[in-house]
Chains A and B, each alone.
Chain A
């Protein structure tokens, strides 16, 4: 596949593949301006799996669409820096951007049925992804599609190439989406809740596959999910989002061992965990609801749901280092970081 790779781009350099600084996404709505993403910073290293975690409406999907340049036209994207491997995504002309999309950054959506075109065969759609970006023969594109379909675990791949999306189950369609994302060997794949619509048994297989492919092709993946179980099992690093901000970022190990933001701690406490939460006991729910993102939010966005909030939380907390590469956007991050074991009241002996 050497003729298809983008070797000159993926030459190892020390700078991150993707650098995002102070990304803001604003959408005009009837009542004013909806600040869907409110100044987030993160970076993605080559070949790493970064998980963006958060509840619905926290801005994780808006972030991914902003990176891909797929936001509706009325959305305003601002950032201090939005750099993808030396390309400034803020100023790049649309024509060049669409050359990047699919070729060097690809996306896997949550619902493959709506992402695939029902009127074209899978083979047609797979080959198109490649031939749009590279001068390859029909035969070469066909061979690559066949190879990738087999690689993502689809049996009778030759026959599947001639089938239409509706003839496949949800799990198979998601495998096709993954194969399609890999057609041009992109440097970055953004996977937006790729397993949420699938059964747990299929989810495990798809996650396994993504992990394997990532190691094989050295692709960086931004994996967007709300499921902390998935995050724990696949992430290298995690960025937790709340109300349009990244409120905590750390390696997966550090985040689950010593969560240092009350929201992250709350999220981990409120999911029933076999062996940790006593069946039938009350779960420690996070009270209240997410604040509205229309208009400005004064102070810490989480303070009205936080049991530790006090006077200081009326001012916006900075993202501060807790330890090494572990950052938390909380005034009390340092106190919280000192390990108070989670679920200690609930642990069954």
Chain B
């Protein structure tokens, strides 16, 4: 699974730490998601979607291998 969290974050001009605080996770979680090392739960994906005011499908994308 790929994501454009980093791009969305840049558009909103918000740091990993700030985003982490807003959605209530550790900064390591945000960083790991951006690096593609961690796939967030549905709850977390929906929180991110709500924060960026975009559908989940516009932030996270399936890859061929998924």
Tell me, yes or no, whether A binds B: no
